[in-house]
Amino acid sequence: MTDCGSSIYNCNVMELSKIHNPSGNITIVQSDSDLPFRVKRVYYLYDVPGGSERGGHAHKALQQLIVAASGSFDVILDDGFMKKTVHLNRPNYGLMVVPGIWREIINFSSGAICLVLASERYDPSDYIRNYQEFIELKKQLNVS
């Protein structure tokens, strides 16, 4: 993992700029001024069936900003030692997730859209998809 010292406390909700207009609000996110990384990939989850979970993995190097563009959902963050749940339900707030954090996204409301801005292009080798492997890696990094 790129950052062996990563913990759930390195993951924070940040308020994004919101420009109010009577005909509709706009939120702008810019790589150079609003994020600690350059955006190399954008994706979004939608039409998630009730009771379904997404995520269920960690990244070795990737950083992400997760936003509830519509509706709401919970993000469970796990650093191998502690867990916390963050509820996202406003499109002008985003959750920064650092490398080395296991994440699960649950409790999608009807019509929810989970927008993700990522620091890297898709790379299957950056994923840790097995939770036991993740825990063992975190333990090894904590000992050394």
pLDDT for position 87: 98
Tell me the domain boundaries of the chain. 8-143
For the domain covering 8-143, report its CATH number.
2.60.120.10
Q: What is the pLDDT of residues 30-70, one digit of tens each?
A: 887 899 999 999 999 999 998 899 999 999 999 999 999 99
Model confidence at 6, in pLDDT bands (50, 70, 90)?
confident
The one-letter amino acid code at 74 reads D
CB-CB contact of 68 with 74 (8 Å): no
pLDDT for position 143: 58
DSSP code, position 9: G
Please give the Cα distance from 133 to 52 (Å, whole number).
Answer: 23
DSSP per position, 38-52: ---EEEEEE-PPTT-
Active-site choice (20, 57, 59, 87): 57
pLDDT for position 92: 97
The token pair that represents 16 in the structure block: 């994004």
Phi-psi region of 34 (alpha: psi -120 to 50; beta: other; left: phi over 0): alpha
The token pair that represents 93 in the structure block: 């707030």
Please give the Cα distance from 104 to 136 (Å, whole number).
Answer: 18
Q: What is the pLDDT of residues 89-123, one digit of tens each?
A: 999 999 999 999 999 999 999 999 999 999 999 99
Task: Reply yes or no on whether 87 is catalytic.
Answer: no
Q: What is the pLDDT of residues 8-25, one digit of tens each?
A: 999 999 999 999 999 999
The token pair that represents 13 in the structure block: 């909700």
Please give the Cα distance from 82 to 28 (Å, whole number).
Answer: 32
pLDDT at 1 over 70: no
pLDDT for position 64: 97
